[in-house]
Amino acid sequence: VYRLAEGSAKPAETSIFAKGLTRPYGIAFYPPGDKPQWVYVANSNSVVRFPYRDGDLEASGEPETIVAKVPASHHWTRDIAFAPDGKTLYLSVGSGSNIAEDMSARPKGGLEDWTKSQPLGAAWGPEEGRADVLAFDPDGSNRRTVATGLRNCSGMTVQPATGALWCVVNERDELGDNVPFEYATAVKDGAFYGWPWYYIGDNEDPRHKGARPDLAGKVTVPDVLIQAHSAPLNIAFYDGGNFPADYKGDAFVTLHGSWNRNVRTGYKVVRLRFKDGKPTGEYGDFATGFVISDDAVWGRPVGVAVAKDGALILTEDGNGTIWRVTYGG
């Protein structure tokens, strides 16, 4: 835990909240609001919670497992968020592969029976329950599927203006430098976003050509498209008072940066524009300069959050830095 002193960019207190976790990533406080009683932590293979009171720098009790046996291979980052009313816990589970290479052509029992018993676009075999956003009651019961076909839905958050669940998605590789787009999107209940058979609507992945004609016309197009291979990892809506008024309601997205593109892309923080709670589809650079040359970078943005005083908190894992960004105009 890093606790920043009021008005300072230097950590005032540093402590370890809990040990013995398994690649923890997502964190959410429950119930939502100013007086949470629990902090939920998403391990790569489970979701646990600790008793919490505002100001705790160390866990006061042992972790309680809320969701067990979450698949943990390949895309291991697990994100969590609560609905505004606190009645629903969301969990994102990324795919176990690039394009379901190890999944059989048809599920056991046949495709017809599978589609009747599963959500639209649900994968099977080693990918069953993956590339999905799941929902639970806060105690981990009543599991259900919210959306499918999101290859790696990261940075889940709730849009303050609408209460909608949003995330950013890392799309598939090995289709070239500019295909397909990554994206940021509201996660719609019952929606199928294409993976592994389609991408960005009815664009069929040539490696799965002709495999699922029944899904054509049923793929939800995401809200904001982002340059291919930018690797978006987090999104935060700005509802603070430090930045100019026209930032209110917009979103910030961290782009971790490409690893398999001829010319680097990403390695920056961008601002997504919104109007009346809806995305315009446009975005622009907010924080750049992390690339030294096409062969070297000194930072890779990961996390973004809005502090109580309206400052923007950014993290990057190239050098392990936390940035506090304020407006000085």
CATH number for the domain harbouring residue 306:
2.40.10.500
Q: In this structure, are 41 and 190 located in the same domain?
A: yes
Q: In this structure, are 114 and 242 located in the same domain?
A: no
Q: In this structure, are 208 and 248 located in the same domain?
A: no
Asked, for residue 162, whether it belongs to a domain, the answer is: no
For position 2, what pLDDT does the model report?
83
Asked, for residue 153, whether it belongs to a domain, the answer is: no
Q: In this structure, are 100 and 233 located in the same domain?
A: no
In this structure, the number of other CB atoms found within 10 A of the CB of residue 180 comes to 21
Asked, for residue 280, whether it belongs to a domain, the answer is: yes
Asked, for residue 282, whether it belongs to a domain, the answer is: yes
Q: What are phi and psi of 30, to 5 degrees?
A: -140, 140
Domain-terminating residue out of 185, 201, 224: 224
Residue pair 225/283 in contact (Cβ under 8 Å)? The answer is: no
Asked, for residue 4, whether it belongs to a domain, the answer is: yes
> Which structural domain range is residue 303 located in?
229-329
pLDDT tens by residue, the chain, 329 residues: 888 776 666 666 789 999 999 999 999 999 999 899 999 999 999 999 999 999 899 999 999 999 999 999 889 999 999 999 999 999 999 999 999 999 999 999 999 999 999 999 999 999 999 999 999 999 999 999 999 999 999 999 999 999 999 999 999 999 999 999 999 999 999 999 999 999 999 999 999 999 999 999 999 999 999 999 999 999 999 999 999 999 999 999 999 999 989 999 999 999 999 999 999 999 999 999 999 988 889 999 999 999 999 999 999 999 999 999 999 86
Q: In this structure, are 204 and 259 located in the same domain?
A: no
Q: In this structure, are 59 and 197 located in the same domain?
A: yes
Distances in Å between the Cα of 212 and the Cα atoms of 96, 123, 170, 209 are 20, 11, 22, 8
Q: In this structure, are 193 and 128 located in the same domain?
A: yes
Asked, for residue 95, whether it belongs to a domain, the answer is: yes
Q: How far apart are CA 102 and CA 281, in angstroms?
A: 35
Q: In this structure, are 132 and 217 located in the same domain?
A: yes
Asked, for residue 71, whether it belongs to a domain, the answer is: yes
Q: In this structure, are 79 and 200 located in the same domain?
A: yes
In sequence order, what are the beta bridge partners of 142?
none
Q: In this structure, are 135 and 17 located in the same domain?
A: yes
* Total tally of structural domains belonging to the chain: 2
pTM of the predicted protein model: 0.95
Q: How far apart are CA 42 and CA 29, in angstroms?
A: 12
Domain-terminating residue out of 206, 224, 242: 224
Q: In this structure, are 12 and 137 located in the same domain?
A: yes
Domain-terminating residue out of 178, 209, 224: 224
For position 293, what pLDDT does the model report?
87
Q: In this structure, are 28 and 144 located in the same domain?
A: yes
Asked, for residue 72, whether it belongs to a domain, the answer is: yes
